[in-house]
């Protein structure tokens, strides 16, 4: 019995030492249920906690008042797989902040104060599978290349934001996309929505909750299932801003060329007239 008791005591001492060491690495205001998880949810934090273990894989920061993420924050946490930042006070994410998250699979930025998602925000995080951006009431602009490089992304949540339009390229560049949530946005069924409508109809199986848009004439909201390509038929003859700029630039260019040609011809005629007069004068002098 004595050897067994000694062995058990040794094991208990080792476990106590491991737990004590891990407890020392856990941020003071957070919980660490296992050696790779840091849970700081609902702690009233106004900034990211200090002394987060470098080998953290799951970082839970939901339900706090964190206003920003330092651009170099994730440089040290190369093992991070799961990052939950929902229900904070984030107003923007600096481009490149998430570019070093080579193993990040899950990212939740929902229920914040984001206003736009510019190009380069996620820095081609090729391991990212699920991205939550819903319930950002001021989010009104998503760049066409905002999700460029997210080749593994399967689920994208953009519901209940302030989006009235979205470039179709933002979605068509996601080869692994299986689910996209877009409901609850103030979509407008105008010509800017036509291309997105076509994509949504071709990928309706990826919309779990459907969506609605407002008619431009009376503001009445209708389901996409009530519309068809004929609803946007008049848009085919509508000139876009790019078309108008091309027409204007072409008109200006033609006008400038015409002015230059007219000036050249006028100069040529003037020189020819002077040369004719000079030649005639020389002939008259010769006859005299």
Q: What does pLDDT average to in each consecutive run of 10 residues of the chain (288 residues)?
A: 45 37 74 96 94 94 95 86 97 81 90 95 88 98 94 97 96 96 95 93 93 89 89 69 65 72 74 67 58
Q: What is the spatial distance between Cα 122 and Cα 143, in angstroms, rounded to a whole number?
A: 12
Q: What is the spatial distance between Cα 14 and Cα 131, in angstroms, rounded to a whole number?
A: 40
| Inter-residue contact 10 to 19 (CB < 8 Å) | no
| Inter-residue contact 44 to 66 (CB < 8 Å) | no
Looking at 1.10.600.10, 3.40.50.700, 3.80.10.10, 3.40.50.720, the CATH number of the domain 22-186 comes to 3.80.10.10
Write the burial class of residue 233 (CB in 10 Å: 0-12 exposed, 13-18 middle, 19+ buried).
exposed
Picking from 114, 112, 175, 168, the residue whose alpha carbon sits closest to that of residue 145 is: 168
pLDDT at 37: 97
pLDDT at 78: 86
Q: What is the spatial distance between Cα 37 and Cα 12, in angstroms, rounded to a whole number?
A: 23
| Inter-residue contact 142 to 168 (CB < 8 Å) | no
pTM, full prediction: 0.74
Return the domain boundaries, the chain. Answer: 22-186
pLDDT at 15: 38
Q: Residue 225: left (phi > 0), alpha (psi -120 to 50), or beta?
A: alpha
């Amino acid at each position: 019995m004595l050897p067994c008791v000694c062995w058990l005591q040794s094991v208990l001492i080792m476990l106590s030492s491991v737990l004590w060491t891990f407890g020392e690495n856990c941020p003071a205001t957070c919980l660490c249920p296992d050696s790779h998880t840091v849970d700081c949810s609902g702690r009233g934090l106004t900034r990211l906690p200090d002394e987060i273990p470098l080998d953290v894989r799951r970082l839970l920061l939901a339900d706090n008042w964190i206003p920003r993420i330092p651009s170099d924050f994730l440089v040290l946490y190369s093992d991070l797989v799961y990052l939950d930042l929902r229900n904070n006070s984030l107003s923007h994410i600096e481009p490149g902040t998430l570019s070093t998250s080579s193993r990040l699979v899950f990212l939740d930025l929902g229920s914040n104060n984001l206003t736009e998602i510019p190009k380069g925000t996620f820095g081609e995080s090729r391991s990212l599978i699920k991205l939550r951006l819903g319930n950002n009431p001021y989010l009104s602009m998503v760049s066409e290349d905002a999700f460029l490089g997210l080749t593994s992304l399967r689920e994208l949540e953009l519901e209940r934001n302030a989006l009235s339009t979205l470039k179709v390229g933002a979605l068509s560049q996601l080869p692994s996309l299986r689910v996209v949530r877009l409901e609850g946005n103030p979509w407008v069924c105008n010509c800017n929505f036509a291309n997105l409508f076509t994509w949504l109809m071709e990928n309706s199986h990826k919309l779990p909750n459907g969506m609605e848009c407002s008619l431009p004439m009376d503001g009445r909201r209708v389901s996409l299932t009530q519309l068809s390509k004929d609803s946007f038929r008049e848009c085919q003859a509508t000139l876009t801003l790019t078309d108008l700029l091309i027409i204007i630039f072409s008109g200006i260019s033609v006008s400038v060329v015409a002015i230059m040609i007219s000036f050249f011809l006028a100069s040529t005629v003037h020189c020819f007239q002077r040369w004719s007069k000079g030649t005639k004068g020389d002939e008259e002098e010769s006859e005299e």
